[in-house]
Chains A and B, each alone.
Chain A
Amino acid sequence: SAVISQKPSRDICQRGTSLTIQCQVDSQVTMMFWYRQQPGQSLTLIATANQGSEATYESGFVIDKFPISRPNLTFSTLTVSNMSPEDSSIYLCSVVVGDDGYTFGSGTRLTVV
């Protein structure tokens, strides 16, 4: 199965600032997925990132708030922009490799103060 390195593992940020989360995969993948897990909640898909094209955002998520880059087949970033305390969550990236199903990064625990 794929191995995902996600950085940073956690951060505490001031409201109004932005944080960029990085996701590095040890194999080439077509799609990368970004999820949000709010405190005590399940996972919600933010967007799907394809290499060489615009990310596809789910209802309730917009590019201005969560810009995504996908410069190559092993790397992606998610930026949480103009943060507010409501953005405090765990953010996870995920990939599908072959028949292994979906592998998840260890997550970025974000606290906005």
Chain B
Amino acid sequence: AQSVTQPDIHITVSEGASLELRCNYSYGATPYLFWYVQSPGQGLQLLLKYFSGDTLVQGIKGFEAEFKRSQSSFNLRKPSVHWSDAAEYFCAVGAGGYNKLIFGAGTRLAVHP
């Protein structure tokens, strides 16, 4: 069965520092992988997605993620965090096509000025 693990429930970084949010998945075939961001009181916004091809994926707001099949990971990175990046981040895995998404528990990011 598909599953997603986000080991870090809460992360705090200083503004301008680099960021890496971890995501590990369990899936028998090549997964479709996603990162979403949810600001307080807001819906989900897609940051980036991986379907196939280049394993380093560029997204919006300066985020990128790298798919590593050998480690079953899809970690999200940003070289310099802004205060507006404070939000909840969800990693999700899908089987492709029109199948459901399985979400991780989320990582809440706090940014210190």
Residues of chain A touching chain B, judged by Cβ–Cβ distance below 8 Å, are 1, 30-31, 33, 41-45, 48, 58, 92, 94, 96, 99-107, 109
Q: Is the interface of B mostly helix, strand, loop or mixed?
A: strand
On whether A42 and B43 interact (CB within 8 A), knowing A33-B100, A102-B34, A102-B94, the answer reads no
Other-chain contact of B42, A45, A94, A106 (Cβ < 8 Å): A106
- The distance from the CB of A41 to the nearest CB of chain B, in whole angstroms, is 8
Residues of B49-106 contacting chain A, CB below 8 A: 49, 51, 90, 92, 94, 97-98, 100-106
A-B contact count (CB 8 A): 46
> For the complex, is B17 an interface residue (Cβ under 8 Å from A)?
no
Other-chain contact of A42, B42, B49, B94, B105 (Cβ < 8 Å): B105
Instruction: Assess the A101–B100 pair: CB atoms within 8 A.
Output: no
